Chains A and B, each alone.
Chain A
Amino acid sequence: MTTTAGLAAGPGLHAWLLLAAVLFCIGIYGVLSRRNLVAILCSVELMANAVNINLVAFSRFHGDLLGQAFALFSVALTVAEVGIGLAIVILVYRARKGIDVDELDLLRG
């Protein structure tokens, strides 16, 4: 771990990783438990941002800007993903008159 003078004042790397892990778990919990498609999309966003925090945190503590560049790409990709996701949600709503995921079980065996 590289430690520089500017970093010593703030929280350590572990704190950031912990924050990211907590966010990720909240995201997973949301994906698994919410029945509203839009809420599930929001939860996926939480998980993606947890990854972004990891990228930025490692970038900062390693002193390598490449991680932050990746985070920017990731944000842009997530935006596209949300766009497609919301489009799917609208189509589902039109087709099924609802966005409750418990109703979407056409693949049931």
Chain B
Amino acid sequence: MLILALTSLLAPLLCFALLAVVEPLRRRGRLAGRLSALVAVSSFAAAARVAWMVLVDGADPVTWTVHWLVHEGQGFAPVGIHIDGISASMLAVVTLVAACVQVYSLGYMADEPPAAQGRYFAWHSLFIVAMGLLVLAPDLLQLFLGWELVGLCSYLLIGFYWRKPSAGKAAVKAFWVTKFADMGLLLGIIALFGATGTMSWEHPPAGIWALVVPALLFVGVMGKSAQVPLHIWLPDAMEGPTPVSALLHAATMVAAGVFLVVRAYPLFEAAPAMLTFMAWLGAITALVAAVTAVVQDDIKKVLAYSTCSQLGYMVAALGSGHLMGGYFHLTTHAFFKALLFLGAGAAIHAVHSNSIFDMGGLWRKTPVGAALFIVGALALAGVPGFAGFFSKDLILEELLHAGHLGPLLLLVVSAGLTAFYMTRVVAIAFFGEPGARAAHAHEAPWIMLAPMALLGMLALVGGFGGGLLAEAWGQEYHFAVTPVGVVTTLFGLAGIGVGVVRYGTRTWTGLTLDGLRGFILSGPVDRFWDSAWRRGLLPVARMVGWFDRYVVDGLMNLVAVAVLKLGAGVRRLQTGRAQDYVFAVVVGALLFLAYGVVGG
């Protein structure tokens, strides 16, 4: 089992090293892509076997660590592999989506220059390694390492179209915002180490640290998992290629924050106030992002805000004190949101535009792609039977049990909004009046449709895997019809109904809320950070800069100038004329003489 897990980790590493070092291979983009996709598929095969052994055969958890950084006879930061139900299932999900996305990329990126393709697949392989390091980490230090590496891959892949200034800006923005949050994570790990002397998540610290440590860790989670108000980088990250958005910014990397909370849950459990905060923040994120998604015209932006919103569900679920719901939603969301992004990518590939109004009427041109997208949309909307329905239902159930009624209410409303905005996208992009660019659209090649079909299957039946996933905690999961579930489903169906009436039939033109639309589109949270940066951070930075330039540097310069002046003065003594030296000798001799006469 250990060998298998190592294989799924090291194979992509080898592939990345090969593509990075052997330039001719990288420059032959298609070959590099095929190699990378093959490695990703085999990596998934190994990870799936591990997950099967743990979840179905009930193999015991395995930890294999290498001790380094030895201090007083024992290593305090072990690096290695920790396989249990959580990490095995997460690794399987990550590698599955990665494999699907890489195969899909073979078709999607086919028109790019070969060298660019090689670069793209090299970074994809690196991402699988980084995510594997994160998922299989035996302690927080290695998790942090993987966390930063996936952040690096995210930065590189968002900026893939680096000739576009907006892509470069988006990459830098994602980097800065997540790095800002990662400082919290790092401080949290340091605080944990200071308080308990280990970086393991199993022993919560005592006293005030019990609250401080999870609070700091959660700042990192807010950045990575795009929680309000640190979600601003995720919509901009859509500048990257669409498969990247599917893998990193929908299915796996952004879920790393949720995974961290699941993994380090003993630390969070020790701080009930933190859990309540998570429930509320997650619910607020879910609602705010859902409202924002309603007014977007860019199909990827809709999906990006939808991702924020669904991550909000997961965080809120973890705040309820039960892990299963949030983690379950993480896996189902990985499937159907990756599917949605790949479907959006196929549509973008067909019409060469991101706007849903340019796509209009794609149903007739690309029936298979449209059908698969609709499957994803139904799963996201929480229609009974689809994957998203079960996990969302479990989340709401858990929140009800924990007594978090406020967050519960927000999430139920968000569920209605989710169904509404997805209906809007589907109605306009696939059924609306044909857009100007949609006339020459054609179906995506099979190499793109096949991975979508696989993810579509999982979006259809993934919900029935809940029982399997519950094994990770040794629990059982049975679906039951409950009042909360019924109400939420009704909200969802109502959302679909309103969407169909509003955008499908075009008979209803009342209530457009243009003011609200304008306010949301102006990016209030972005403006908040912008002014916080301008008014808060910048003056402080200027002050520090002034102190450094004039006081610290000034002192240094003063010493230097004094030495220079002194040297120039001493230099004038050296006239080079022998007579002057003789004069000095004579004066010296006279002084000695005077000393002998007076003092002696």
Contact = CB atoms under 8 A, between A and B. Distances in A.
B575 A32 contact: no
Given A28-B586, A32-B586, A108 B579 contact: no
B576 interface: yes
A26 to B, nearest CB: 13
A102 B578 CA distance: 9
Interface in A75-106: 101-102, 104-106
A30 to B, nearest CB: 11
B565 interface: no
Interface in B125-139: none
Interface stretch (B155-163, B167-175, B442-450, B566-574): B566-574
Most chain-A Cβ atoms within 10 A of its Cβ — which of B573, B577, B583? B577
Contacts of A31: 579, 582
Contacts of B579: 31-32, 101
Contacts of B575: 105, 108-109
A8 interface: no
A101 B577 CA distance: 7
Given A31-B582, A32-B582, A32-B583, A109 B577 contact: no
A101 B578 CA distance: 8
Interface residues of A, number: 11
A9 to B, nearest CB: 33
A107 B583 contact: no
B593 to A, nearest CB: 12
Contact of A109 (B572, B582, B586): B572
B406 to A, nearest CB: 83
Contacts of A105: 575-577
A107 B571 CA distance: 11
Interface string B570-599: 011111111100110010000000000000
4 interchain residue pairs of minimum CB distance: A109-B574, A108-B576, A105-B576, A107-B576
28 contacts: A28-B586, A31-B579, A31-B582, A32-B579, A32-B582, A32-B586, A101-B577, A101-B578, A101-B579, A102-B577, A104-B576, A104-B577, A104-B578, A105-B575, A105-B576, A105-B577, A106-B576, A107-B574, A107-B576, A108-B575, A108-B576, A108-B577, A109-B571, A109-B572, A109-B573, A109-B574, A109-B575, A109-B576
